[in-house]
Amino acid sequence: MKRAILIFFLAIYAATHAQITYHYETNLKDLSQDKLAVHLKISGFSEDTLTFCFPKIIPGIYGAMNFGQYISTLEVFDKKGKKLKTAQTDMNSWMIYDAKNIARVSYLADDAWETFDTILKEGFFRSAASSFSDSAFVITPNSLFGYFRGHLHHPIEISIRKGMELYPATSLKKTLKLNQDVFFAKDYHQLVDNPILYALPDTTMIKLPGISVEVACYSTSGKSISKDIAEYIRPLLINQSKYLNDKLPVDHYTFLIYHSLAPNRHHLIGDGLEHSNSTLILLYMPLDIETIRQNIYGIASHEFFHTLMPLGLHSQEIENYDYNEPKFSKHLWLYEGMTEYFTMHMPVKTGLQTEKEFFKMVEEKIAFMNQFDPNLALTDLSLHPMEMQDQYYNVYLKGALVNLCLDIRLRELSGGEYGTKDLVLDLMAHYRGKPFEDGKFFSDLVIVSGYPELEAFIRDYIQGTETLPLKELLLKAGVKLDKGKISEVENPTAEQQKLRAVWLH
């Protein structure tokens, strides 16, 4: 009898929770003053009060964007059309009373930027925000669709009406019709992880063993550019696969590229934000395919490597991301630093680049790093990125260089057999897709690597502020660093030659 009662109550609980689904609707044809009307149909809540939120911040950026600032005239109704009482509690949150009777939420969503150009603002990342125009819609779901606090894990369905000439590029599961598209996400995390680019069709598919890649582009010039860009991205993906031992971490991927026409080559800007199965890239430059391809290469490479970390290898703080009260991981040195190092290292390792070209990049990063605070540990910067925006870019400089040092150190310890790439792949295998505990990661790293000597390296150069041992470690690889310049050692030893060969070739 008790078992029957338990099954009954479990069935009631499952039925109550299963019925909660977010059903969003908007119409791109009704764009007015850069605003879209958004309607959410949802019911089945048991709480008396609920908070409807837009993110303050999202994964991959480290400045408070406050996406609620683009929302206006938010109203909530019951199933009879009666307006429910609401109160805005902060820039991103609305308290809703009598929440058990919620049936519909309606509001206007403004875009965050009009054109992608040289006007930059600290802490504002346009690749995380939306832009609407009659010819193209860059939709970052976090700036258009909200969520109820405590209800992030319900399925989401989005219906978008549009002109039949517009095509939606995204990695979301979708059903396409002439005038209406429907998108599906298993929860809010997956939705935020998948931007959408609506524009006239300009797409090229890349088919490689184990992966299908869509390159979708929009250029304010009105010209088609996806085919030329895809021809440049294709060898990049082939070499990244080679670099990762022919084990790409995803089987489908979408590059969403928005190109804003610049009048000349004096100001070239690129911005990208990584997602699990896509990257949104914004470009401001002339319609010169070679210039576009050269700039896309570095951005696309860096963002695609993010499929390893933090998208594949990350802490619980990222797995259980809090969009409005985020807790940061101390491992930006890994998420951004290692990713940037792989972006630098892959071309020379796979023969796309010469040693001279590689060392030129190293010199540039050393010079740039020296403009930042040397007494700020990478772990401290990682834990407080929003308060240290003026220091944040150093994760791409010192973060990359500390991993260069780690790579050489591992090669030295292993007789050339083991490096940072092997370490990352081993860590991913160790955690098997599960998030790690932030405070235990360093000890796990040492154990997985098999080299207890790394404890001192981590203590001094990642957790600490000791000067990076670039000079000493580069010398072990047969090159010398003097006054910021790198050159070959005359008459290198066989040991130096061997270490350099396994590191760079």
Position 298 scores a pLDDT of: 87
- Same domain for 156 and 288, yes or no, is no
3-state SS class at 247: coil
Give the burial string for 395-431 (b: 16+ CB within 10 Å, else e): bbbbbbbbbbbbbbbbbbbeebebbbbbbbbebbeeb
Position 117 scores a pLDDT of: 78
Q: Would the pLDDT of 462 be above 60? A: yes
In a domain, 211, yes or no: yes
- Same domain for 130 and 279, yes or no, is no
Q: Would the pLDDT of 127 be above 80? A: yes
Position 264 scores a pLDDT of: 80
In a domain, 9, yes or no: no
Q: How crowded is residue 478: how many other Cβ atoms within 10 Å of its Cβ?
A: 21
Nearest-Å Rg of the Cα atoms of the chain is 25
Residues 6+ apart with CB under 8 A from 363: 484, 485, 486
- Same domain for 292 and 358, yes or no, is no
pLDDT digits (tens, 9 = 90+) for 207-227: 999 899 999 999 999 999 999
Q: Would the pLDDT of 332 be above 80? A: yes
Element (H, E) at 144: none
Which of 178, 198, 218 terminates a domain? The answer is 198
Position 6 scores a pLDDT of: 44
- Same domain for 123 and 73, yes or no, is yes
Distance separating alpha carbons of residues 65 and 494, to the nearest angstrom: 53
Position 1 scores a pLDDT of: 46
In a domain, 4, yes or no: no
Sheet arrangement for strand 278-285: 203-208, 211-219, 252-261, 278-285, 269-274
pLDDT digits (tens, 9 = 90+) for 47-64: 999 999 999 999 999 889
Burial class (CB in 10 A: 0-12, 13-18, 19+), 444: middle
Q: How many domains does the chain have?
A: 3
- Nearest residue to 243 via CA among 339, 178, 315, 169: 339
- Same domain for 400 and 252, yes or no, is no
Which of 180, 198, 216 terminates a domain? The answer is 198
Q: What is the DSSP letter of 83?
A: B
Distance separating alpha carbons of residues 23 and 29, to the nearest angstrom: 19
- Same domain for 178 and 293, yes or no, is no
In a domain, 6, yes or no: no
Is the pLDDT higher at 491 or at 289?
491
Q: Would the pLDDT of 7 be above 80? A: no
The pTM for the full model equals 0.92
Position 63 scores a pLDDT of: 86
- Same domain for 286 and 398, yes or no, is no
- Same domain for 177 and 225, yes or no, is no
Position 13 scores a pLDDT of: 45
Q: Would the pLDDT of 17 be above 80? A: no
In a domain, 310, yes or no: no
In a domain, 416, yes or no: yes
Measure the N-to-C terminal CA separation of the chain; round to a whole number of Å: 70
Which of 179, 198, 217 terminates a domain? The answer is 198
Distance separating alpha carbons of residues 34 and 15, to the nearest angstrom: 40
Residue 15: pLDDT band with limits 50, 70, 90: very low
- Same domain for 43 and 113, yes or no, is yes
Distance separating alpha carbons of residues 129 and 121, to the nearest angstrom: 13
In a domain, 304, yes or no: no
Measured CA to CA in angstroms, residue 173 lies from 92, 131, 397 at distances of 28, 22, 37
Q: Would the pLDDT of 19 be above 90? A: no
Q: Range of 215's domain?
A: 203-299
Position 424 scores a pLDDT of: 97
In a domain, 243, yes or no: yes
Distance separating alpha carbons of residues 106 and 111, to the nearest angstrom: 16
| Token pair belonging to 488 | 């070959």
- Same domain for 478 and 389, yes or no, is yes
Any idea what the CATH number is for the domain that residue 43 is in?
Answer: 2.60.40.3650
Any idea what the CATH number is for the domain that residue 495 is in?
Answer: 1.10.390.10
What does pLDDT average to over the chain? Answer: 93
3-state SS class at 41: strand
pLDDT digits (tens, 9 = 90+) for 273-293: 999 999 999 999 998 888 888
- Same domain for 285 and 342, yes or no, is no
pLDDT, mean of residues 167-196: 97
- Same domain for 164 and 70, yes or no, is yes
